[in-house]
Chain A
């Protein structure tokens, strides 16, 4: 590992996607839990808990996509054309999710609201699942030819390993979303969210353990870098500690610290994934020689340098907006006249 321009961009693009997973992760999780809230008022509480922030959270995905296009156009081109139907499904899910949030509370009718509730929840679960399936395939390896074109089919993307990573992603976001609901709500809904959190943690820990075992057994190239640099063991340890810390903090009534722990767990998991992939970006199987790496998939050095200047100017601004917005909208949700 040497920190050249390409590696810096690997970290930056990874950082944008990790930011997406930490932030949109909880609102996808809230969406997955949406139908578990039975009453209209509880569902409105859930929607309004993410109301001011979900759109900004999704910008991390859009900007991550833009940065991937700019820094690693070969990855952008190969993955999006190769996973055509899967990405179309993801786009449809994200469209339905966005309009469901906006449309639901515009009319009082029960059928109207229930339809959008189902759309919102199903689209959230499907989005999380498809994101995980894509990651699972990239890690497991997809058939790429010498021109880096995808040589598999849509059904070959739905292999057991990819689906396993997909379900693990759903479980991660459910846990993360449940803790977010805990910090944003009071009273009975808060108690239910604590219950969801406990079950979410159990769900995630089981999936995490299974995925780890399967990865060790069947996807050995994901662990090469960790074998070479044992210091990286700190990541899975950090991950486990962060998750173990969640129930402890909730028990002590420190809801916010519990949420930070969950953020750290998501982040550590993404970092583990990144180190597992490095320096590959898309693993090619069976012909590993056709893999997309941070070198053969990258833009030219001048472009990476220009983009680094753009990032140096933009990232502090982005962090400033993000932190300000979360600060302004801190505290428990209240339903007001302009709420969803």
Chain B
């Protein structure tokens, strides 16, 4: 394989693996704030035990996020140095801002969150929890801003001097508030909240099925369900708004979502299907005119199709089509499951509905899948560019790195990450099996 394919594989694999963890730490961060906030209000030992238990899991998740995240910070330079030279002036500032404003906040207060139980009072500990959650959200804001600039570049101009051409900032705020930043930040936040909520829901449902830690599990499950309903409904709005944004700013990507080829015709929405890229057709079950309706409010509004773009400016259509449809289907399933859970809780039947509890146990995988395929949709949909319309992926590579070097690093990453994943699941399972420490006396806190 050539360096380009290998480097793309390596970036996709390492960022995909990394992205398992930050979504959980952002989502769990919010849930920890709720749980510890409840403890401060009620002073019930149960909430204390609950916070303690989830903090331990948070620590494990966070450590893997840090270990795999440091790779991302440097991989732009190692594998995509031409990209780095081209965008450093613009993209680098967002990355540096992430370090200064998010990582220091997060890691500093994480120390108190994990190890400070006996060093600070309960209020200070709660403050640290809030700061860690805030830091995790800030970090998402800056990295999504940087990525959104790649999707919808703004606030820059392109300058050539000597041998080098690059993008330079003209207006910092225009770069930060580029056309897709806001929609995409919300979309990512809700994806993270869903991941955190369904994680808590899954573990709690499992305890209920095993009739262990019942009181703990019921309350955890309720908190999880409330966050899940709010996040899933907000995600529906955010997803719609994001798609409209893509329609306006990245028409080729929108056309790929539904495999829409005609240059200006009403567009359908598929429930599922397969794109025949050679003949520009989709085989599947569709709702006629639905994409036109969602984008423009009318089933016969014309939508710019892939035929309007020369073949070398189109993304790989079928991959984008499939990942997009999986994301949407999972999003719908999450809305369904969270409402089902909530309604059964209101009617008081949730604790006896074993099939539903089993569904909730398995549901932990769904937000993870949606987050992964959602990012594949966003990133593959931007192809063949790294910076939409400005810089092609094929022109972004490091010039001096050989395929042998990338091959050896990709093999090493595969082995190391496989080991980490197995150990993560093993240790996570062990923590869940051990369960919360429900001794009535809240240990630790200095009054």
A residues touching B (Cβ–Cβ < 8 Å)?
Answer: 51-53, 55-56, 58-59, 61-63, 65-67, 69-74, 76-82, 84-85, 87-88, 91-92, 94-96, 98-99, 101-103, 106-107, 146-147, 149-151, 154, 299-300, 302-303, 306-307, 310-311, 314-315, 317-318, 321-322, 324-325, 328-329, 336-339
The answer on a CB contact under 8 Å between B168 and A70 is: no
The answer on a CB contact under 8 Å between B108 and A322 is: yes
The answer on a CB contact under 8 Å between A55 and B89 is: no
- Chain A binding surface, main DSSP class: helix
Tell me the minimal C-beta distance from B431 to chain A in angstroms. 8
**Counting CB contacts under 8 A, is B401 at the interface?**
yes
Tell me the minimal C-beta distance from A212 to chain B in angstroms. 30
**Counting CB contacts under 8 A, is B399 at the interface?**
yes
Inside 8 A of B69's CB, which chain A residues have their CB? Answer: 62
Q: Which residue of B lies closest to A13 (CB)?
A: B96
Bound complex: CA A82 to CA B78 (Å): 7
The answer on a CB contact under 8 Å between B96 and A329 is: no
The answer on a CB contact under 8 Å between B63 and A102 is: yes
The answer on a CB contact under 8 Å between B84 and A56 is: no
Q: Which residue of B lies closest to A79 (CB)?
A: B77
The answer on a CB contact under 8 Å between A99 and B420 is: yes
**Counting CB contacts under 8 A, is B383 at the interface?**
no
Q: What 13 additional pairs, Cβ within 8 angstroms, besides A55-B66, A66-B98, A77-B82?
A: A55-B107, A56-B104, A63-B104, A73-B88, A81-B81, A98-B63, A147-B163, A299-B89, A302-B172, A303-B93, A307-B96, A310-B96, A310-B100
**Counting CB contacts under 8 A, is B443 at the interface?**
yes
**Counting CB contacts under 8 A, is B117 at the interface?**
yes
Given A62-B70, A99-B423, answer yes or no on A329-B95 (Cβ-Cβ < 8 Å): no
The answer on a CB contact under 8 Å between A324 and B108 is: yes
A314 CB contact (under 8 Å) in B100, B120, B398: B100
Bound complex: CA A66 to CA B98 (Å): 8
Given A299-B89, A307-B93, answer yes or no on A92-B98 (Cβ-Cβ < 8 Å): no
For window 373-413 of chain B, which residues contact chain A by CB distance below 8 Å? Answer: 398-401, 405, 408-409, 412
Inside 8 A of B56's CB, which chain A residues have their CB? Answer: 338
Bound complex: CA A151 to CA B120 (Å): 54
**Counting CB contacts under 8 A, is B309 at the interface?**
no
The answer on a CB contact under 8 Å between A94 and B67 is: yes
Inside 8 A of A74's CB, which chain B residues have their CB? Answer: 85, 88
The answer on a CB contact under 8 Å between B119 and A328 is: yes
B95 CB contact (under 8 Å) in A53, A66, A302, A325: A66
The answer on a CB contact under 8 Å between A92 and B412 is: yes
The answer on a CB contact under 8 Å between A99 and B398 is: no
Q: Which residue of B lies closest to A320 (CB)?
A: B108
Q: Which residue of A lies closest to B172 (CB)?
A: A306
B67 CB contact (under 8 Å) in A66, A99, A150, A325: A99
Tell me the minimal C-beta distance from A228 to chain B in angstroms. 29
**Counting CB contacts under 8 A, is B64 at the interface?**
yes
The answer on a CB contact under 8 Å between B159 and A59 is: no
Inside 8 A of A102's CB, which chain B residues have their CB? Answer: 59-60, 63-64
Bound complex: CA A74 to CA B105 (Å): 28
For window 207-256 of chain B, which residues contact chain A by CB distance below 8 Å? Answer: none
Q: Which residue of A lies closest to B118 (CB)?
A: A336
**Counting CB contacts under 8 A, is B122 at the interface?**
no
The answer on a CB contact under 8 Å between B77 and A81 is: yes
7 A-B pairs with least C-beta separation: A73-B88, A80-B77, A63-B99, A70-B92, A314-B100, A321-B108, A52-B111
The answer on a CB contact under 8 Å between A77 and B85 is: yes
Inside 8 A of A78's CB, which chain B residues have their CB? Answer: 81
**Counting CB contacts under 8 A, is B345 at the interface?**
no
Given A85-B408, A307-B96, answer yes or no on A55-B111 (Cβ-Cβ < 8 Å): yes
**Counting CB contacts under 8 A, is B2 at the interface?**
no
**Counting CB contacts under 8 A, is B47 at the interface?**
no
Given A67-B99, A95-B416, A339-B115, answer yes or no on A80-B78 (Cβ-Cβ < 8 Å): yes
Inside 8 A of B70's CB, which chain A residues have their CB? Answer: 58, 61-62, 91, 94-95, 98
25 cross-chain CB contacts under 8 A: A52-B114, A53-B111, A56-B104, A59-B103, A63-B96, A63-B104, A66-B95, A66-B98, A69-B88, A70-B95, A73-B89, A73-B92, A77-B81, A81-B78, A95-B71, A99-B64, A106-B427, A299-B92, A299-B168, A300-B169, A306-B172, A307-B96, A317-B104, A321-B105, A325-B111
